[in-house]
Amino acid sequence: MMRAGADYIPTPDRRYFVVRGRPWRLSNPWLDPQVHEQLVAELMDARRALREASNPRARISARRKIDAAKRALGERGNPWWDDGTPDYNRHLAANTPYAEWFTRMISEIYRN
């Protein structure tokens, strides 16, 4: 199912990927692919601008652009799903409904 060395472990519902035991929200899968691509490009541009910023105003501006892109992608702000399921973004996986699944995935990775 999951192989060691994968970039991330997506949850079965594809709402999150798990890094160091914490689920992080994935992008909205219903975004038009071209819109998604444009937003990712904007996000990467903003991250480069933050890395290259030489003063506080430039860093603040870059961080705002990063936040705007991540919100548009659905990775921040209100969840992109509408079934009433709570958002577990950045919680410990062990403290979420994904706990059992995550334990199995980790076990499988270390077994291989």
- Whether pLDDT at 5 is above 70: no
The helix or strand, by DSSP H or E, that contains position 9, with its residue range, turns out to be strand 9-10
**57 lies in some domain:** yes
**82 lies in some domain:** no
**101 lies in some domain:** yes
Residue pointed to by tokens 């909205």: 28
Q: Same domain, yes or no, for 7 and 43?
A: no
Contacts of 11 (CB under 8 A, 6+ apart): 17, 18, 23, 98, 101
**83 lies in some domain:** no
Q: Same domain, yes or no, for 34 and 59?
A: yes
> What's the pTM value of the predicted model, to 2 decimals?
0.84
Structure tokens at 70: 């991540």
Task: Give dist(CA 76, CA 26) in Å, integer.
Answer: 9
Q: Same domain, yes or no, for 67 and 54?
A: yes
Give the structural domain span for 67.
30-74
- Please classify residue 110 by burial: count the beta carbons closer than 10 Å to its beta carbon, then call 0-12 exposed, 13-18 middle and 19+ buried: exposed
What's the rounded mean pLDDT across residues 83-93?
95
With cut-offs at 50, 70 and 90, classify the pLDDT of residue 36.
Answer: very high
With cut-offs at 50, 70 and 90, classify the pLDDT of residue 3.
Answer: very low
**81 lies in some domain:** no
Q: Same domain, yes or no, for 38 and 66?
A: yes
pLDDT of residue 89: 94
Q: Same domain, yes or no, for 44 and 57?
A: yes
The number of folded domains in the chain is 2
Q: Same domain, yes or no, for 44 and 65?
A: yes
Q: Same domain, yes or no, for 67 and 34?
A: yes
Q: Same domain, yes or no, for 11 and 37?
A: no
Task: Give dist(CA 39, CA 68) in Å, integer.
Answer: 9
The angle formed by the CA atoms of residues 55, 59 and 64, to the nearest 5 degrees, is 150
3-state class of 78 per DSSP?
Answer: coil
